[in-house]
Structure 1
Amino acid sequence: MNRDEFNTFCSSFPATSHVVQWGNSDVWKVADKVFAICGWNDGRDAFTFKVTEIAFEVLPETPGIRPAPYLASRGMKWLQVFDLPGLSDSELRRHIGISYDLVARGLSKKKRLALGIPLNDES
């Protein structure tokens, strides 16, 4: 996945916004909460996203994936795909989707309804 594909994919989720900050990083948010970042790592795109606790324990064993600089050092469960082999494009899309869902679920039900975010996590 390249930066343009990343931005196109992230824009497909409901109620998202995009800003460029932190040294020319593409930062994607849902209701002002970050769910994905694409920035540079030694001239390569690096993709950062929120993960479950299990993914945070398992995925860093894969070459090219590490706990996200800054975020993980503050106790947050975020990973960064920074080098090859990392994740395939389809796996990266899946994890970015999970990140969006994790962040969106942290919003109140009222806020999600107001933003048009599906409440499919409700029983």
Structure 2
Amino acid sequence: MNYDTFNAFCGSLPATSHVIQWGGSHVWKVGGKVFAVGGWEKSSGPAYTFKVSDLHYELLKDELGYRPAPYLASRGMKWIQQYGGGAALDEPLTYYLTESHRIVSLGLSKKLQRELGLNQSG
């Protein structure tokens, strides 16, 4: 996945907004809260950072191509960075980005969730 594909995918999720910040990184938010970052890596290769569940954090933190996210994980937050990817990591990345969007949106107030049309059942 390249940054154009990453941005297109994140932009297709409900109620998202995009800003460039933190040294030129592509930062995606839902309800004003960050759920994904494209960039934020010192090497020239692509890197994608996203929030995960406790279980996924434990599963991914030592997997090849994944690591605890710089800055965030060191502060006790459950964020993972995928780096040095390839086509084989594209499908899992779209899953984790979707999950990150869901996890972050569930942390928004119920009122804001309703206003944004998020997490509505039935």
The alignment's TM-score, normalised by the length of structure 1, stands at: 0.91
Query: Aligned AA for 1:36?
Result: A
1:15 partnered with 2:15: yes
- In the alignment, structure 1 residue 112 sits paired with structure 2 residue 113: yes
Question: 5+ unaligned residues in a row in structure 1: which ranges?
Answer: none
> Quick one: distance in 1 between partners of 2:85 and 2:19?
26
Distance 1:106 1:38, change over 3 A: same
Name the structure 1 match of 2:45. Answer: 44
Partner of 2:34: 34
Scaled by the length of structure 2, what TM-score is found?
0.92
Q: Contact between 2:106 and 2:119, CA under 8 Å: does it hold in 1?
A: no
Counterpart-to-counterpart distance in 2, 1:85 and 1:58: 19
Query: Could you report, residue by residue, the CA deviation over 1:13-66 in whole angstroms, capped at 9, with x for unpaired residues?
Result: 111100000111000000110000000441011000000001111112211210
Q: Which residue of 2 aligns with 1:58?
A: 59
**8 Å contact from structure 1 (residues 63, 86) kept in 2:** no
Name the Cα RMSD after superposition: 1.7
Report how many aligned residue pairs link the two structures: 121
